[in-house]
Structure 1
Amino acid sequence: MTPPPPGPRRGALALLASTQLLLITDTAIVNVALPSVGEDLGSGSAGLSWVANAYLIAFGGLLLLGGRVADLLGHRRVFLGGLGLLAAASAAGGLAPGAGALVAARAAQGVGAAFAAAAAFALLLLLFPDGPARHRALGAFAAMGGLGGVLGTVLGGVLTDALGWRATFWLNVLLAVLLAVLAVAVLDPRTGGASGGFDLAGALTATAGLGLLAHALVGGSEAGWLTVRTLGSGGAGLALLLVFAAVETRAAAPLVPPPVLARPALRLANVLAALAQTTLFPMFFLVSLYLQDVLGHTPLGGGLGLLPLSLVVVAVAPRTGRIILRVGLHRTMTLGFVLLCAGTLWLALALTSDGTFASTVLAPSLLLGAALPLVTVTTNVAATAEAAPAETGLASGLVNTSQQFGSVLGLAVLVAVATSRTGDALRTAAGDTARAAAETAGFRAALLTGAAFAALAALLSVRPRLPARTAPPKDRVPDPY
């Protein structure tokens, strides 16, 4: 595929980045609306947790399949199909008469989001060849992701208070339909349609394995890590992934060709992408809880407390490409992980039970806002730099799956650390002051664990196994975008 002129590409990038914004915003909106959902539908905490978990399991389990299907059937077609399913499932959620129907709608939303997200990222890779233009495009994606978390929290609070929780689902319908209409006008329908058959056995084993593994991770903190349910789901998921690996070595048209996974740069980049989200994703959750449970902010105030971080992300992300060109991919990535480790460590040590937002969260969150686009853009660049045009959906599915499972694993592990540390502290003290101190100790322990993950990623990023080429050859005309 020959990339279109700069003008149409800007329009396509705006559309694809807006899709990223929609998907991130949707997750944050629903999390804010969950208490109101429980009151209206009479659902307990266990039922409410699965309103969120059903989406995460479907989304994490189907990203890899969604990327490969986009390569085979056409990226725009799969993108539109994903948005259509997301809109229909959101409408079903807005009309859900009970918690069971809402959980089913959220699972369907996760399916639609997985296909839309994988196809959108693949389209970005096709539109912007490896080099400065791709770096800027990935920066736009990172900026929209950072903005989406805070925007979703704010919109979730406003819509739930003013119109009720069902309005948050109808907003998804409106936005998904709008993006689909724009996609028909902006995106090239000729992308994708790679030749070759479809590996049904690989698709079934990979999807079921990833789904069961996600089920074990998101449900482990609730059911217990050593329960039959958690160990059974996790063990079955790992077994199916081993079967998937065996199937891929014999399939005529494998879902993930073994030579692709044999690339050291791709493997390392996906590990680093997962480690980045293992620290970043739970950090947002933990900071919001700290602001609400310890400092006494409202849910809306807890979301707005992350606004300075998001503004730094929006400012730094578009400039990440220039930083890569100036200092190189390796150094930029290592710098990002060092800043992520330093910011998370600073935040952990700054937390106090009697502090204020300005004295505890503000300064380290600004450092984390600078780190987020550096690690996100560089790991995405490294994970996709070697992908051929017919592999863009596959590369998209792999890195998105790595990031999703990093997020799920990080949230499960860090929340378990926080809960355990808080419980230990509460056994030796009582009263509101002691509870605030115990919760602060829990959040601190969790963030220190996150800093350790970031430090490991910083050490791994130094290894010289990442793609060396991050700019166009000298004999090629610079990209005017």
Structure 2
Amino acid sequence: MTEDLDRATVTAAPADALPAGSPRMTPRQRLILAVLLGAQFMIAVDFSILTVSLPVIGNELGFALGGLQWITTAFALASAGFMLLFSRIGDRIGRRRIFLGGMALLILGSLVGGIAPNPAVLIVGRVAQGLATAAVMPAALALLTTSYPEGPLRNRALGSNGALLSLGFAAGALLGGVLTDALSWRWNFFVNVPVGIAILICAPLVIAPSRAEQAKRLDLPGAVTVTLGLLALIYGLTGAQTHGWESAQTLVALAAAVVLLVGFIFIELRVPDPLAPLRVLTRKTVKWGNLAGLVTLSMQSGLAFLLTLYMQEVLGLSVFSTGLAFAVVGLGVFCGGLLAPKVVAHFGPRGTLLLGLGVQAIATGALALAGDRIGVGMTIVLIGSAIGGFGHVWAVVSYTITATSALPDSEQGLATALTSMTQQIGFTVGIPVLSAIAAAKIGTPAPAERAHAILDGVTFGILIDAALCVLGALLIGFFLRPKDLAASRA
């Protein structure tokens, strides 16, 4: 096969492979799902696998205390900043091509990070991993949505995808801690290599090549503007956690992001072949679906930070015990993902979105009752987090379905890039926002009052988290009406 297969052939392939009226996946579709979900799970793990290893890496390689955050920031900048650009390149050169190229870059970046002798080389490896993420995530999701006809099969695939993404993010810290304790922090990088090679070998055998019907000229002004704008946005958000929201560095970066992203919109209104056609961006399903995704993902990542602070600083748990607790959250997410297609089939994408945000809000709010007694506190944390995991993954799956449904294959690259970018920004924004809220409540207590003050700050942050989930559900319920989804299918 060649990459010059026209779009009509590729679009017809799933329908031809699946007998009419049958809800079962063919063996080929199962293989496609396994390959794409394997790649997505790797990417999700990479978000958090280095979290508990940062102090060890800093001590061994000689990172300055202020430079340690660049291990995380470099990855976030590259992945979110270039995602929209790479997705549109994939639409033009073939999504399978950019998927395979991204996987190859991920393997290379992981090798560089694993053998890094100094901070500079490790940061180069993390940037390569981030760029690979920007290429792989939207391409994998677009290949997934175009490999299954819209309906139960696609919903089942997206349910598995959402479950593994959330599970990978939750399990990354635990896996990183185990590898660091048992072997070395370098295996947090090396673990990607054999899995990546296996995906590189299998993907060309099961995934058909695809290409846009016409390779249009790339919107270079739009590409440069949106990439710089996203880089400034992520830099400002990640910097806020280190320097504070009122620092000049944070304010300048966020102001630059606003200017550049507004400029991007004006450019897209004027160019003949825009990078991101506004007819897609202004669809209610795309707009409100991604807003719901931003709420659920940012509040879940922020909650993980608050619970880490609570378990270690208030209850006195070790890093490893904290990681084990998050494994329970991951179990809830995984089980919720398995049920997600049935929930979507019963309630529809909009109803599942509202249900998911509602369950996440209630379960999160219940965590405010944890207190400072380890037995009661951990019981509430484990049960509440597991139940919240169900709601969270239902919201993730339904926002992905909502934001990518009823679009032609030629626009799936943009739609899936937006959902992937929402994931990146959501993972990034939740921690600085909720940490700032908690820090403002904690203040500067005396040493004897530190644990009590932290408990108050975490409790306040948890209540704000739950309130924002409720607000998100109310906005979706009011502005995204059932008729909007019906109209988008027409």
Residue 465 of structure 1, aligned match among 481, 484, 490: 481
The alignment status of 1:129 with 2:149, answered yes or no, reads yes
Instruction: After TM superposition, list the pairs within 5 Å mapping 1:80-95 onto structure 2.
Output: 80-95=100-115
Instruction: After TM superposition, list the pairs within 5 Å mapping 1:212-223 onto structure 2.
Output: 212-223=232-243
Report how far residue 469 of structure 1 moved.
4.9
Greater CA deviation, 315-324 or 356-365? 356-365
Name 1:258's counterpart in structure 2: 278
Report how far residue 262 of structure 1 moved.
2.4
Q: Assess, with a 3 A threshold, how the Cα gap between structure 1 residues 92 and 266 changes in structure 2: closer, same or farther.
A: same
Name 2:347's counterpart in structure 1: 327
Instruction: After TM superposition, list the pairs within 5 Å mapping 1:179-190 onto structure 2.
Output: 179-190=199-210
- The answer to whether the 8 Å contact 1:143/1:313 transfers is yes
Report how far residue 399 of structure 1 moved.
1.4
CA distance in 2, matches of 1:102, 1:247: 36
SS in 1 for 2:215: coil
CA distance in 2, matches of 1:469, 1:120: 27
The alignment status of 1:307 with 2:297, answered yes or no, reads no
Report how far residue 283 of structure 1 moved.
1.4
SS in 2 for 1:19: helix
Name 2:134's counterpart in structure 1: 114
Report how far residue 319 of structure 1 moved.
2.1
- The answer to whether the 8 Å contact 1:73/1:194 transfers is no
SS in 2 for 1:317: helix
Name 2:459's counterpart in structure 1: 444
The alignment status of 1:20 with 2:37, answered yes or no, reads no
CA distance in 1, matches of 2:170, 2:425: 22
Residue 12 of structure 2, aligned match among 2, 26, 30: 2
Name 1:477's counterpart in structure 2: none
Spell out, residue by residue over 1:41-92, the C-alpha distance to the aligned partner (whole angstroms, 9 max, x if none): 1223321111011101111112211221111111110001111111111111
TM-score by length of 2: 0.91
Name 2:265's counterpart in structure 1: 245
What are the ranges of 5 or more consecutive residues in structure 1 without an aligned counterpart?
474-481
Name 2:254's counterpart in structure 1: 234
What CA RMSD, in Å, does the superposition of the two structures yield over aligned residues?
2.0
Name 1:455's counterpart in structure 2: 470
Instruction: After TM superposition, list the pairs within 5 Å mapping 1:76-475 onto structure 2.
Output: 76-192=96-212, 194-352=214-372, 354-356=374-376, 358-424=378-444, 426=445, 429-431=446-448, 434-463=449-478, 464-465=480-481, 467-469=484-486
CA distance in 2, matches of 1:183, 1:388: 23
CA distance in 1, matches of 2:128, 2:202: 23
Name 2:74's counterpart in structure 1: 54
- The answer to whether the 8 Å contact 2:328/2:386 transfers is yes
Greater CA deviation, 228-237 or 286-295? 286-295
Name 1:36's counterpart in structure 2: 56
Greater CA deviation, 7-16 or 139-148? 139-148
Name 1:479's counterpart in structure 2: none
Spell out, residue by residue over 1:154-208, the C-alpha distance to the aligned partner (whole angstroms, 9 max, x if none): 3211221222111211112222222111112221123546532211111110011
Query: Size of the alignment, in residue pairs?
Result: 468
- The residue identity in structure 1 corresponding to 2:299 is T
- The residue identity in structure 2 corresponding to 1:359 is T
Spell out, residue by residue over 1:110-135, the C-alpha distance to the aligned partner (whole angstroms, 9 max, x if none): 11111101100110110122211111
CA distance in 1, matches of 2:73, 2:371: 29
CA distance in 1, matches of 2:184, 2:341: 41
- The residue identity in structure 2 corresponding to 1:66 is F
SS in 1 for 2:12: coil
TM-score by length of 1: 0.93
Percent identity between the two aligned chains: 35
- The answer to whether the 8 Å contact 2:171/2:330 transfers is no
- The answer to whether the 8 Å contact 1:3/1:128 transfers is no
